[in-house]
Amino acid sequence: MRMTKAKDKREHTQMLVDTLGLQEILSSGRPTAVKIGTEARARVQKGKRVFWNIGKIQAYLDAISE
C-alpha cells in the first residue's frame, strides 16, 4: 500500500537526518546545509554524531519564505 503524499510529508518532517541527508534534502552544499540547520536550531548531537531535525528546518524555511 502506497502512502499518501500528506502522510509522506508528515513522516518526513518528523525525521532526523545526518548532514549528508540534510544536504540532499536541501539540494545544497555542506556549508549552506549546516548554516540553515543551525539558524533553524535543528542540530541534535549524540556523542560525536550530529543529526538535524527536519521538522524544525521545515518550520524555519516556511517562516522565512515570502
40, 58 contact by CB (below 8 A): no
pTM: 0.77
User: CA 54 to CA 14: how far, in whole Å?
Assistant: 6
Residue in the structure block whose three cell numbers are 513522516: 11
In the prediction, which pLDDT does 1 show? 40
Q: How confident is the model at residue 3 (pLDDT cuts 50, 70, 90)?
A: very low
Give me Rg for the CA atoms of the chain: 12
